[in-house]
Structure 1
Amino acid sequence: MIGTAGWNSNATGYRRCRITLNGTAVPGAAVGADASTSVLCGQCVATIVVMNGTTDYVEVQGAQNSGGALTAYNQDFAPSMRVYWLSR
């Protein structure tokens, strides 16, 4: 599974992106950065998640704390999720 998140320019706060399984963070499947300059910010995280096939669900979550709303889509970065089904 691959997840991405992106935000428009802002030099305040942090930006985070993570993958969750059933609403709980998957260990090792998160990235983050503190904003040091006012530039576009995009992040990508990838992991393998084992699901039970009936009730499990996955999410890509993005967070920021610039002190105001930031657009999560721009010409370079956009929220996305790619899931690859692997079966034996």
Structure 2
Amino acid sequence: MANLAIPTLTAPSVSNYDTAAWWNANVYQLLTYGLNPPIFVGTQTIAQSVATSTWSAITLDTEQQDTYGGHSTTTNSSRYTAQVAGWYTVCGVVTWTQNSTGRRGARLHVNGSSVAGSAQLFAPASGTTFTGVMTAVRAVQLGVGDYVEVAGTQSSGSALSTGVAAGGDLASALYVAWAHT
């Protein structure tokens, strides 16, 4: 479906309640947009090496959903770029490969800057399992062209890869859903 603009409702007047134009502008377009808002779900299926003690945007090479075409798997694949302005509900997860040294973290970025209150940091439970770190769920305001990313950090002392489990049920991911204007 082509990207839909947020409907602009017309002012009511006694003479326009039964016209097709009024119906299309105030009922049909509003319902069509409401049932088809921008939604993005992207995941990582190819592990990514992340340097120690740095925040790095996580690449997302697979799309489960991208209703408005705000993501590319080849250019700036860590980003979801807003095609419609408004408030979005956003969360992400970074999955780390087995390693018991240091901490693992995840947070959200908007236009390359961290979103306050979105970061989570954990010590791995053991060195024999993957560690998944989820960001806080946040509402962020995006203009057309603004982008959101999930970023990860780790402090193992050397580069560490993100983890990709067979079947994809444990993988780094980003979820973005338009909420309202």
Scaled to the shorter chain, the TM-score interval is: 0.7 to 0.9
SS in 1 for 2:145: coil
Q: Is the 8 A contact 2:130 2:163 kept in 1?
A: no
Matched, 1:77 2:167: no
SS in 2 for 1:29: coil
Q: Using structure 2 for the length normalisation, give the TM-score.
A: 0.44
Residues 11-50 of structure 1 aligned to structure 2 (within 5 Å): 11-35=100-124, 37-38=126-127, 39-45=129-135, 46-50=137-141
1:10 aligned to which of 88, 99, 102: 99
In 1, Cα distance between the equivalents of 2:100 and 2:113?
A: 29
Give 1 or 2: higher strand fraction: 1
1:59 aligned to which of 117, 124, 149: 149
Measured after TM superposition, the shift of residue 36 of structure 1 is: 5.4
Question: Alpha-carbon deviations, 1:7-50, whole Å to 9, x = none?
Answer: 12111111010001111000001101123531320011211101
Higher relative contact order by CA 8 Å / sep ≥ 6: 1 or 2? 1
Q: Using structure 1 for the length normalisation, give the TM-score.
A: 0.84
Q: CA RMSD in A?
A: 1.7
Q: Is the 8 A contact 2:95 2:172 kept in 1?
A: yes
Consecutive unaligned residues in structure 2, runs of 5 or more: 1-89
Consecutive unaligned residues in structure 1, runs of 5 or more: none
Across the two proteins, how many residue pairs are aligned to each other? 87
Give the number of the structure whose alpha-carbon radius of gyration is greater.
2
Measured after TM superposition, the shift of residue 70 of structure 1 is: 2.5
